[in-house]
Copies of this chain bind each other. A is one copy, B any other.
Amino acid sequence: MPDLPRPTDAELEILTVLWSRGPSTVRAVHDVIAQRRPAQYTTILKLMQIMAEKRLVRRDEEQRAHVYEASRPREWTQRQLAGDLLDRAFAGSAAELMMGALAARKASKKELAEIRRMLDQLEEGR
């Protein structure tokens, strides 16, 4: 399984749309993005074409309106990004990353409980 380049900001925005919508046309992705910020159709098209070259997405050309799909599931890419940031900014310390994340956006009680549950599960498995 060859690894992929880290997606840029604009690319990541497109990936999030593909993850939430599933396989989509450029039109559909553009409509979602244009709703939150100005963006020309051809800009999104070009980005998605480049992403296909980079293998960040797969393209089905069966239909005239090509259908794009993220080539990796959300969890996989999230893992890459988290690991990357961990190495580059947190010297590998997951605890510090946790600190940073919780300080940045205060999490709900529900979320904190979920994190605990995750930790339990992790230690059980060992």
Contact = CB atoms under 8 A, between A and B. Distances in A.
Interface of A: 9, 12-13, 16, 75, 77-83, 85-105, 107, 109, 111-112, 114-116, 118-119, 122-123
A103 B79 contact: yes
B98 A86 contact: no
B95 A80 contact: no
Contacts of A81: 85, 89, 100
Given A78-B100, A79-B100, A111-B95, A105 B86 contact: yes
A91 B122 contact: no
10 contacts: A16-B88, A75-B99, A78-B90, A86-B105, A94-B102, A95-B107, A97-B98, A97-B101, A115-B115, A116-B119
